[in-house]
Structure 1
Amino acid sequence: MPRRSAGIVLHRRGADGAAEVLLVHPGGPFWARKDAGAWSIPKGEHGDDEEPLAAARREFAEELGVELPDDGGADAVRPLGEVRQKGGKRVTAWAVAGDLDPAAIVSNTFELEWPPRSGRRQAFPEVDRAGWFELAQAREKLLPAQLPFLDRLEALLGG
């Protein structure tokens, strides 16, 4: 059975009226020097016993340290469907209109043996930074498998 993740595509209108999305950059030494094609939507794994939208909200709060801002009530949570990532993981996402300050995020952490085979464990943030990106720039930053979410969001927003 493939692993499953759920996430949120938080979006807003920028100062010039263009659609912007919030993306997160994974923390840890493997991702430290990677930028283009390395960013993601805030998301995380869930089991069969957890409702995917509830998991997406939980993961958003864990990765960013804030509850999901919701500018439009329950009707503003709109499904964006599912994609399959390179390793086979299935990711389901929802679009939510909202705003937050990416400089204020505080991510949860994970432990990793680092350097490899050193016997030393270090803690790293799951997300080391977040940022707002217009759709064209977001397409350069985002993991390639998640690009369909931007296309679907753009269609929902009317171009």
Structure 2
Amino acid sequence: MITSAGLLLYRLGSEPGVEPEVLLAHMGGPFWASKDGAAWSIPKGEFDEGDEAAVDAAVREFREELGVEPPAPPYAELGTWAYSSGKRVTVFVADGAGFEASGFVFGTFALEWPPRSGRTQEFPEVDRAEWMPLAQAREKLVKGQRPALDALTAHLSELGR
């Protein structure tokens, strides 16, 4: 089974009643280039559960995908969800107040492109990352990760935020 872990940053509005925002990354490469809805992801990546703790993988993948350090801990585990493909993702959350969505240096991957051309090209794992309100994030996030937004809402409620 393929397992991955990600770090979901949130920030609260400065005014009461303003919806929290989350930091999402638009997936890179030619397949996602012209897509927007359901084409965004929590910064995440695969790991081997026997070799690395999920939270360590989430922090490492954040750093590798975005090329910047995530905010300092604490990190709280929101949960683990299975995609329809069977892949599982464990999501951790951190307060991203003060985290600027800039200065990113995106990691890359190699892909034969165009298909069956015999040519390999490098593409960014993600091509941009942005803060967005939860309602917008729900539309843009890939389906398998949307339960993390509900878990974040519950987490913030437990914290009285």
Matched residue pairs, number?
Answer: 154
After superposition, give the CA deviation of every residue in 1:25-81 in whole Å (9 maximum; x if it has no partner): 1110011011111111000000121111000000000011111113xx43xx11101
After superposition, give the CA deviation of every residue in 1:1-42 in whole Å (9 maximum; x if it has no partner): x10000011011235442100001111001101111111100
Q: TM-score, normalised by structure 1?
A: 0.91
Name the counterpart of 1:157: 156
List aligned pairs for 1:72-83, cutoff 5 A: 73-74=73-74, 77-83=75-81
Paired residue secondary structure (2:114): coil
Contact preservation (8 Å) 1:81, 1:92 = yes
Question: Which AA in structure 2 matches 1:58?
Answer: R
Separation (CA, whole Å) in 2 of partners of 1:14 and 1:132: 12
| Residue 27 of structure 2 is aligned to residue 29 of structure 1 | no
Paired residue secondary structure (2:41): coil
Identity of aligned residues (%): 55
5+ residue gaps, structure 1: none
Q: TM-score, normalised by structure 2?
A: 0.90
Question: Which AA in structure 2 matches 1:144?
Answer: K
Name the counterpart of 2:61: 59
Name the counterpart of 1:134: 133
Tell me how far 1:102 sits from its aligned partner: 2.4
List aligned pairs for 1:1-159, cutoff 5 A: 2-16=1-15, 17-47=18-48, 48-70=50-72, 73-74=73-74, 77-98=75-96, 99-158=98-157
5+ residue gaps, structure 2: none
Contact preservation (8 Å) 1:102, 1:129 = no
Moved more, 92-101 or 49-58: 92-101
Paired residue secondary structure (2:11): strand
Contact preservation (8 Å) 1:4, 1:91 = yes
Tell me how far 1:106 sits from its aligned partner: 1.0
Question: Which AA in structure 2 matches 1:93?
Answer: V
After superposition, give the CA deviation of every residue in 1:83-108 in whole Å (9 maximum; x if it has no partner): 00121110001110014332321111
Paired residue secondary structure (1:157): helix
Separation (CA, whole Å) in 2 of partners of 1:150 and 1:126: 22
Paired residue secondary structure (2:69): coil
